[in-house]
Structure 1
Amino acid sequence: MTKPFILSIIGDDKPGLVDAIASSVAANGGNWQTSQLTHLAGKFAGIVLISLPTEQADALAEQLKALSSTGLSVRVSPAESSGVPSTKASLSVIGPDRPGIVREISQAFSRRDINVLKLNSDIVPAPMTNEPLFQASIAISFSPEQDRLELEAALDLIAEDMTVDIDIDYCED
């Protein structure tokens, strides 16, 4: 029987890291399913969803632990689905860069028991002025009972206070 597992990865970036991880997964009968891998400030970081025969989990963890000699740290964790119904939405945030934008938005989510599914952010030069421009895309999920108007009002206050634009789109199933 196969089960889903999450691999959490971080280490010094260099060629061959993905191959080493993928080879270890394959050698233990695993299947690479979904991943997000990136280079950040000289480090290689990522998260990978694999399916793996349950009895191979310990062997894979040991094989991946051996990669620590290359400066790579990989953690193998069982994955589970919550099965709780939820509403999903996506947000786009854009505005002049300043400290605290992510903190303010994430605190608003935390206070309302809203889960961040994905957050991608970057600082890019603004058109014409070349000033630093913060942009983010955020995917969230929350209880169907969440008051959408109250959430939108809270985000509007943050947008005004932080001088950013926040747009929210609900994903209707």
Structure 2
Amino acid sequence: MKVSVVMTVLAADRTGIVKRLSETVADHAGNWLESRMARLAGQFAGILRVECEEEGIEELVEALEALASEGISVQVQRESHQEAPKRAMLTLDVVGNDRPGIVKALSAAIASAGANVEDLHTALESAPMSGHPLFHAKGIVSLPDGLSPGALVDSIESLGEDLAVSVE
């Protein structure tokens, strides 16, 4: 039977990190299913999901954790086999003036409405005319039965008049 593991990877950014990870996965008959990776403040940061046969999972995990000797920190978690309830998905785009605590406020508004963050990307961008920093969040949220997209937008817009919220 095949099992999946989800892992986080951190290392000082340099050439060859993804190559080394993919070699380790392939050398242990793993199948790289999906990943997200970025360079943040000089650090390589990644999350990925790998699948392999159950009898080879312990060797794969040990090999990934052994990459610490090369300066690559890998934390591995076996994937849960619980089926998530089917929920409506919504693409969310939020832009507003940057301020400390904006991600805390945004995530609290989403959670208090009953929605769940499935994927989130945040960045600071320069405002077109003034150049002051704008917060930009784009992501996917899942909605519970009975929650309308409008109710979620209202919850987020209650955080301040400077937030522009759009949904798809």
TM-score computed with the length of structure 2 as normaliser: 0.91
Gaps of 5+ in 1: none
Residue 84 of structure 1 corresponds to 85
TM-score computed with the length of structure 1 as normaliser: 0.88
Residues 8 and 47, structure 1, Cα contact 8 Å, conserved in 2: yes
Structure 1 residue 102, shift from structure 2 partner: 1.4
Residue 110 of structure 1 corresponds to 111
Q: Deviations over 1:52-74 (max 9, x none)?
A: 11111110111111111122111
1: CA distance between counterparts of 2:121 and 2:39?
13
The worse-fitting range, judged by mean Cα deviation, of 24-33 and 72-81 is: 72-81
Structure 1 residue 88, shift from structure 2 partner: 0.7
Residue 167 of structure 1 corresponds to 166
CA RMSD of aligned residues (A): 1.6
Match of 1:158, SS state, is coil
Residue 59 of structure 1 corresponds to 59
Residue 71 of structure 2 corresponds to 71
Match of 1:110, SS state, is helix
2: CA distance between counterparts of 1:87 and 1:49?
23
Q: Deviations over 1:30-83 (max 9, x none)?
A: 111111011101111111111111111110111111111122111222223533
Residue 43 of structure 2 corresponds to 43
Number of aligned pairs?
167
Gaps of 5+ in 2: none
1: CA distance between counterparts of 2:129 and 2:88?
38
Percent identity (aligned): 31
Residues 157 and 163, structure 2, Cα contact 8 Å, conserved in 1: no
